[in-house]
């Protein structure tokens, strides 16, 4: 089992503030699963408008945090790091369920397992919990695709 601090996470994901939604990886077993943490703070920019009278983390961002954890797991499984010639796209969400609001002060535990990988599409089962209670669960799909050199696109 491997642990990644924020520096290791930054090597495995191209995301940066305010879209980086993984703070720590507690355990990763390449080819199998990952357990990561997202600390939810009132300082998150989305809380200003969602909702001012009762701040709740948007469900789509919880799913994005799960997808970012899946990305780290996939790069570890492939034995590579992201680069400027490709993007690891989030391509599908199935069976998403939101069972508990996530509020400032919560610690989201992100658990993702590889269900299968076929023809460049990775499928995962994912669950986000707070204090042992399921907040969100979903099946996710991602793929790694080459991108054109931005300097050549004009």
Structural tokens at position 4 = 């990644």
Alpha-carbon separation of residue 149 from 11, 16, 34, 40, 87 (angstroms): 20, 20, 31, 35, 12
| 50 catalytic residue (yes or no) | yes
Is the distance from CB of 53 to CB of 101 less than 8 angstroms?
Answer: no
**Who contacts 75 (Cβ-Cβ below 8 Å, separation ≥6)?**
12, 81, 82, 88
Q: Which of 12, 15, 50, 53 is catalytic?
A: 50
In angstroms, the CA 113 to CA 36 distance is: 12
Active-site residues: which are they? 50
């Amino acid at each position: 089992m491997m642990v990644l601090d924020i520096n290791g996470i930054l090597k495995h994901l191209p995301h940066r503030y305010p879209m980086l939604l993984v703070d720590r990886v507690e355990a990763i077993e390449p080819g199998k699963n990952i357990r990561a943490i997202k600390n939810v703070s009132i300082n998150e920019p989305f809380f200003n408008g969602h909702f001012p009278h009762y701040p709740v983390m948007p469900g789509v961002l919880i799913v994005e945090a799960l997808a970012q954890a899946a990305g780290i797991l996939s790069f570890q499984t492939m034995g590579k790091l992201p680069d400027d010639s490709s993007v690891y796209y989030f391509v599908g969400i199935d069976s998403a369920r939101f069972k508990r609001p996530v509020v400032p002060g919560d610690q989201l535990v992100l658990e993702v397992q590889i269900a299968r990988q076929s023809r460049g599409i990775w499928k995962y089962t994912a669950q986000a919990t707070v204090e042992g209670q399921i907040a969100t669960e979903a099946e996710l799909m991602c793929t790694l695709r080459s991108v054109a050199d931005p300097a050549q696109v004009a």
